[in-house]
Amino acid sequence: MEENEREIVLTYVHMKFAHLFFLLFFISSIAQSKKLTISKKPKTPIPEALLLIENTPRYITDSIGTVYIKPSDFNKEITIRHINYKIQKFNNWITQDTLFLEEELTQLNEIEIVNNEKKRKDTRYYPKSSLNNILPENFGKNGSLNNNMELALFFPNENYKDKIIKKIYIHTNDYRIIQDLKNTKSIKIKGAKNSPIKVNFYSVDSIYFVPKEKIFKEDFIITCQNNEEFALLELTIDEEFEFPLNGIFISIKNLTKDEYNNLGIDFPPGIKLIGVSKENKIIPYFRYLHQGDEALWQKYHYLIERGNTYKVGIEFKN
């Protein structure tokens, strides 16, 4: 055998050995991981359930409700969120193969009887949209938030005295990004609307009317599921609180790159834009995250001047 042929054979053998090594490594990793199925009784798998390990997003169930938990997470608490099921926490789950969630019963909106006619009581609070000033180029599907930015929408208390905040709706969407700056070629990021985002609340500074203090110490992580048009945050009974008289800020920001990588997600969700009327009082603010917790909040003048804001809503408890 000539020297060149011998080198080719050796190269082929080395490649086969490398492939075999990585295959064995992959199989070994799977074998060490814990297979866990998220289901509802009687054993109906739940796809797209978000698993948080000590409040950090780590796993999303596949189409048959399955995830593989890494050994480093074996002794940690799991919190599971899904739009159609109650939020549940699990400890000492390592001996179980299946974790069961309880369905969230959807209550009908309250109905008042007035002059023998049924009237739907308004329990949702959204920015006031306008059909007259919507500009096609800046209405509808929008890209994701800047990774270095935290958004906050100010909701004044307009005739919602004594109302209890129960749910938050963040309307998400897929979007396009420019792939080639030279010829402005773009590609659609499919499935981005189902990527998770972080949500929290801030009290209102009574002097400067900017976000003051977080209502909850840890951010909530929510995701759009089951082909819905929105990501839903539903507060538990212990988390519900009365709509403050001076209003509330709802904050939204992306997960960190490491958190998205842990979930195998490449892009954050887009947040839907709407055109608003002159009577709209739900105002967008933002700040830069790299400046830390002391970063200054400022009005989002770019959106305000265009007559736009993000489609985010509050639902009150009946």
Residue 220 has pLDDT above 90, yes or no: yes
Is residue 247 within 8 Å of residue 211, measured between CB atoms? no
Query: Is 19 strand, coil or helix?
Result: helix
For tokens 């110490």, the residue is 217
Q: What pLDDT, on a 0 to 100 scale, did the predictor assign at position 180?
A: 62
Q: What pLDDT, on a 0 to 100 scale, did the predictor assign at position 19?
A: 53
Q: What pLDDT, on a 0 to 100 scale, did the predictor assign at position 9?
A: 42
Residue 78 has pLDDT above 50, yes or no: yes
Residue 223 has pLDDT above 60, yes or no: yes
Instruction: Give the Cβ contact number of residue 145 at 10 Å.
Output: 19
Name the band, by pLDDT with cuts 50, 70 and 90, for residue 12. very low
Q: How far apart are CA 189 and CA 191, in angstroms?
A: 6
Q: What pLDDT, on a 0 to 100 scale, did the predictor assign at position 38?
A: 87
Residue 256 has pLDDT above 80, yes or no: yes
Q: 162-193, pLDDT tens digit by residue?
A: 899 999 999 999 988 876 656 666 788 888 99
Q: 127-136, pLDDT tens digit by residue?
A: 988 754 444 4
For tokens 């995701």, the residue is 223
Q: Above pLDDT 90, what percent of the chain?
A: 37
Q: How confident is the prediction for the chain on average, in pLDDT?
A: 81
Residue 108 has pLDDT above 80, yes or no: no
Instruction: Give the Cβ contact number of residue 96 at 10 Å.
Output: 12
More confident residue, 149 or 161: 149
Q: Tell me the average pLDDT across 237-257.
A: 94
Q: What pLDDT, on a 0 to 100 scale, did the predictor assign at position 63?
A: 81
Range of weakest confidence among 134-138, 196-200, 270-274: 134-138
CA distances (Å), origin 111, targets 74, 238, 318: 47, 26, 10
Name the band, by pLDDT with cuts 50, 70 and 90, for residue 139. low
